[in-house]
Structure 1
């Protein structure tokens, strides 16, 4: 499974040894470390899938710490009987999102559990990023009266997932 699916999308020098972890150089300064787990049902929805949420969510968490994301880990919990084409699509999406965010998936783990113990797939990602000198982003900096700037729409993924879950047509 590792060669057929994982290494198909996540090949890099840090993952290549297939060791129990990744070893990488660090520069002086501060690092940010974040982790998140994804248990989205359904795993596929308009505009993406659980793999996109996993990579983008952890990259966003690092960015919210002022960090430049560099490395991710990926833990997969797969339901017995998960269709290989669905796993392939999720991993392909994760690879695309990691490339777009300029991060490498450098370590991970996969477990298969009995049918019915999870809903197709659960994903845990953890990320490490470097915080540039002089950057100090966090809730402690938020003050009453500040503006919130959005770079895009908000809530699209939640609405898409809810629409799929409840059979709603939200195409407009």
Structure 2
């Protein structure tokens, strides 16, 4: 009886320790994607450093004006998966601005860089899994609005957008 109880306790600790290793990978405030169905959405406001103003490309920069605002994310993607990043759902505080106008004025440049490879145990008896740590940079810039009316609608207002992270199986 003592042997059986000891084995049950030992098995319990083995399973909890493998979960702890997996949780450590996930708990770094990073996004962890290990299946094709996984996706994450980050809601973002277009806000620069305090006092900074985003201005259209090519205009003369004033004090505290910038041509782009940059956002950084770190995503962990299981090996064999390819990370995809999309910008969707542009929302503007002035609801009179058409979605097409927003897409013509605001540009999003997305770059990804693999910075590290991790090995971890998702389940104790399944073997070692490998994942890549990917730095994602989203750079938001602005073109000069096509009309003066559009310029008046945009100036001084706020843009919000969503960043979608998901993965596809590499063929």
Whichever structure has more helix as a proportion of its residues is 1
Whether the TM-score (by the shorter chain) exceeds 0.5 is no
Is the radius of gyration larger for structure 1 or structure 2?
2
Greater strand fraction, Structure 1 or Structure 2:
2
TM-score by length of 1: 0.27
TM, length-normalised to structure 2: 0.27
